[in-house]
Structure 1
């Protein structure tokens, strides 16, 4: 049986924030942004709320029907003159520096790492071609390993294949790169090495022609 997937709306905001907060509490990047565990437990949700609000306004959030997994996508315009449906911009846009400052001020004003991670991701983001950007994908800890994340990603990759759009993401762990490789993503030409922190793996996927999914 397939996984039921729908587009999230404003009524789903708190559910999505809670889900992302739970899913990323032990993520290496979240641990670097909020190194003190107790502070992370009480503050991390603000960053997830900021991300959720940006994507609700400028992109698309897909959720499973049972609310146990979600994926945040943005449609990124390219310097080639192309544009993915919907427009929108994350820290990878031309205003990335200003966005990074605003993000820190809204999430945790004294925490320079909130701004720094936004700047690093903006600098790493490809800007030459229009593409779909998988900003985040979160699965409830009790449901991980059941294929929900793969189903959410394939849901958009099917459309990318039909429309001839590439896709991009930054994997936050070496383990997760294996999942994305199975979905057709390959490593970009560089890693994103966070100063005194973890490594991220930018990955790119060209559209697959002649079939609905990889």
Structure 2
């Protein structure tokens, strides 16, 4: 297995374990007998998109990762269309597309019109949470965003994560309701 493929597999595994019970992720993935596989495919999709249109981070000890999207760099391509079709068919499910599209439109209404760093996913293996891996990785992400002169935006449905983000001076600038509380945060 090549180094790039090993990196992708490790990152997908970290995110799968870290987000398996996440309300927002489970809202997107059709909740059926294939939920675990659907979450894996969602994380593969996010990895591919961020590898092409953003940044991918893996901690030195390979226990934490982050996926950053740079929306200003995202352009139309046939590859991205194929990824989106696969996402609809294999992750969301045709019966849930409208619901998920409405959710994504509502979120994007709150994003800035200028270039920004979008922290799509940051995850730590559950067995390693609380050991500083996520903190070190988030600091690296914030340093890169600062060096590029970009604000960092993210969303979370995990109430327990809010104090951690606030410790990095993220501010809640909005809250949405999708049947669960969904917080919009930014750091200037």
TM range (shorter): 0.7 to 0.9
Could you list the runs of 5+ residues in structure 1 that have no partner in the other structure? 1-7, 78-86, 90-98, 207-214
Query: For residues 106 and 42 of structure 1, what CA distance do their matches in structure 2 show?
Result: 9
Structure 2 counterparts to residues 12-51 of structure 1, below 5 A: 12-34=7-29, 36=31, 38-51=33-46
Specify the alignment match of 2:151 in structure 1.
Answer: 166
2: distance between equivalents of 1:179 and 1:192? 20
**Residues 54 and 162 of structure 1: CA distance in aligned 2, closer, same or farther (over 3 Å):** closer
Structure (1/2) with the larger helix percentage:
2
Q: Which residue of 2 aligns with 1:205?
A: 187
Cα distance between partner residues in 2 of 1:105 and 1:39: 12
Output the CA distance in 2 between the equivalents of 1:55 and 1:21: 16
Two-structure CA RMSD over aligned residues (Å): 2.6
Following superposition, the deviation at residue 140 of structure 1 comes to 0.5
Q: Give the TM-score of the pair, scaled to structure 2.
A: 0.81
User: 1:74-105: CA deviations, max 9, x gaps?
Assistant: 1233xxxxxxxxx237xxxxxxxxx8666312
User: Structure 1 pair 19/111, CA: closer, same or farther in 2 (3 Å)?
Assistant: farther
Which residue does 1:117 correspond to in 2?
A: 100
TM-score (norm 1): 0.72
SS in structure 2 of the partner of residue 117 of structure 1: helix
Q: Structure 2 unaligned runs (5+)? A: 76-82
